[in-house]
A and B are shown apart, each in its own frame.
Chain A
């Protein structure tokens, strides 16, 4: 069977993938693609301006065409179909036969028919070639206009803003995103967009485009006003590309598009149409998910599975436009007769939420969310699965107050078939099966089902399903720290902070039982330090510290310690290096440059530590906190000071950040990186906090990790000035310190965070919990009360006394023996010890 596919866009390629998976023998597949490149991700097209390349956007897995045996013909446009002969003619005059023809030609941008719409530097926004042309024009423009204030138009406005242009959006309707939101929602959205520096002009009917006086073009509006700009992009909607159907007398839908049945067949049973070019029951689908469904149906039907059917699609959407959450569910406009609505509007934070319910108040029909779409997952499930609404549905959208939890969905009510993660098509049933199979943490569940792993919007719901299923299976949802405290670390933090508790004795008397252990004692010590920041070795706190914190050094396998003075940003003077070298030499220490860009000295015996530190402090050094669950290092590249590519002073910032956050105790160690340009020589995106200089300021990345399980950091905010940057880091770190589990790095914390990156952004950047001032104040307290622990330790006789090997004997531990390797010491191995010990005894005797 010869299958011919016209169009290699997202839906076309999905069809090929389905077909390849079905592995029908004896099929010969040819694809005609009029674009010069194979299918790419048009949904994320605007990321092209944020630095993604055409290759990054490609949807074709390496080797796909080689492995499948399908033939892809680029730059080949189909111009005619001969239905009787069952052939397709290309623009080059070639005639290709088919048994089954699939049309996936997508859509074409609608360009309003106004005089001058074909002038130079007027564009549409559809293909990578369009984007390349826009980029070129952007370089010689100061201002740009997007015609169309819908979903794509706003995406496009972001692109123009990313190009550094003064950006305008012109919309014919009286509000932005007229299809998805209502008037109030549109007004809030407009405020948000304008806050970002984009000028919005609604209710403007463009009459013509002429030469401008101050810019290349002038747009003249029906109300007599005008707007000048150097480039214009039309993004005023799309029209199905159905010309081949019209030319060949195939039926078309009422609003255009190739009319198809439930099997995606056109009026000619050998011709299928899928995606944006198809009209199913007169409906057009401009979203990718229904297109994918059609691709699945068509591929299966062609290969003989006759029972498959396309059943329409839910057009609910949730997206982020220029960082603004916008979501629309079902009957967002409240068009259902007798429907009623509940609305919540916060003009300060620019948040708008509306739900539309049935006349009897029992069913959710639709919703609009602008500025914050946290409830999207819950509301969508309620609407799709016709779940009965709670008695007071308004609480579904009102902000939680007094710690009262929002009414949940009651996930028990969902059928097993309910799709929880739409990005990866994971159903409730699949999640439950994974939980039963042992995936009982959010991280594990994500890893094995991929639910919540793409956009993260469904994570709260995934968590609810997980917890409900665990409860149903009788699995204990126990997050208690240890047998002494029936609380999670986060709860304990809260108890300590709110109760003003400063000692372990008080803590265990009030909230725990027993004597404590090696789990809860260091955890409590860390929380005390984060909250009150008292000297960690003061009498009541010392006995809680892990050996490393108790002796302010990292214990090594032979019971010796390593010594790491702080070198902020990896910067050290020649005199500093000499001083470190002299100390190492004097005490016979092994020295190594660490991965964190500083010098580590190994082999110090307990009783040597105070003297070593006294000398380092005299040379101007401070504790490097290499022993603490605390800020370690801020790695930096040399930045604009020396580097010919640098755009920001990365070393200066690294030094500043390291000095600000040094000594901050946290659930685990924290590493920073600061790069002076996008070449990223400091590997900041592999750090808990990464900062990268841009032309306009600093980009802030968070929750990266190298080490055991590498994780790429995610962009939290861009183009920040230093003050804002520091403020956001303050909030981020304190939020992590408050809410993470013990020994949970930021990367795992982030993977387990309900609500994912969006939630983190909301809390840290938009202050959705109203916590920002408190977090900042807490950080300010920690910063203001910083002390070098070693300096305090060596100047306190009581503390200094603890650094002795034997309580009753001044001699060193004779069991610690070293041998030489590559000119330095190292601990003797078991088999080397007898000889080495004999040597050292002889030396002592001499």
Chain B
């Protein structure tokens, strides 16, 4: 019989967390246990099957399959072991046995009074998780950017032997997937976690433990992805098309494991952010008073929740093909590469908007503050985001025009894709309308707004060419496509994220971002970026194929121009990194609201208290009523 105690929590003895296991767990213990789990798994499999690195005569499985099984199991064991070692499973285990975490233990998990150590623990404070995401994203962008520099160096002149062709392929693939993952979390990770709960007047995220889980699960994927280098790389590019991915070497397993782990992290983070916004807004914050960044971030993660599992399925199917000889993508046993292409792009195109929308929304948050005008047509901005999100699930096959899959559907997919430029146009309208006749305060965040409008205009218009079946027939697989999606993802989404960082840097670090260094980095990045990718448009339009390590002499000038632009971007990123580190350590102390913004995050001091607000705020007006009386 179920009996529920009505005894108040305070009447029961509370264990002292100083002596509990929770206090001893951190990133170090996670790493040790993760490695231990991985090593034990490896040796158990080796004991069972024999060494995977030698041809195993007389075994049930081929050597290749056994290598794949061993590597995948070892990687998942690492990930699981790390989560055990850092204490991620204590909460669920304690729930299972009916001994819930006490208030004192929860306070400890929130990092109360633990200083810098909390950044290396399973800390449930959303602000700590936000900083963890920020540092993680910067590291990933650094690694991905270094790979980009190597690619461009190889392409500086035709016939370059800077990188061997097979390594070039892997480099392109690893650059792609590293940057895609980094870009997916670049805005919603740091700002969605640190800033967004404060913006809506919440004390924390809806599920603090799951919030920490989403970061640490993602963290375990980073060494897994890096291990691809030591396992022969991923020669398929980031799209990992089947059956190439079925046939690729052991490094492909790192790719599969990374995506599967990342999909879990994304689902958990998406659920958490969505629930927080829907259920934890401050009193008085009706839907038409929700800051536009919050709306954009929520639509983005809500779109990711159904989108990423299809990629996960594609990866699991590839993994099964590689490990136990199923035939999802093997035509000999009834499989088809088209299945992969569909599953991949059903995720792949919404994913572009998962990346893009938070960046645009951040800039919409910035623009009214720096022109001291209300956001032009809040409703149009929402309609734009919602329209993009809705249409994004109906356009995936425009990536497959040339694959031969369902030619009769090319027309309908061309129409839906071109139609998506209507809600995208609304976003431009909102931004331009907000800037119209304003007197902008030209600080770094505002510069990003202007850069976005230019970059995304080019990215958007070139996208219309690619959505057109006859044009795509010529441009598909060329450098034109590479330039287009870099204008969209880097020119728009990364520019938005950099603007957001400059905007919220004072709230996250308590210091102002160095003006001079950030201006220098801005111009180096933006000029370099346009030189780089306008050069690439030239090469692509002239017919240079992408994902090829060498090219004909005819493309030499365009590639040299691109490489010069790339070095400028690289230099700008180094200056930006220096500005961030220097300002974080010894920048000018920031006032509580340096930009005079009207959203809630600027009403709390730095460091932001553990529960954000001493008393829950009650919202009585919209956040963009600059230059008019509150209503």
A and B form one complex: no
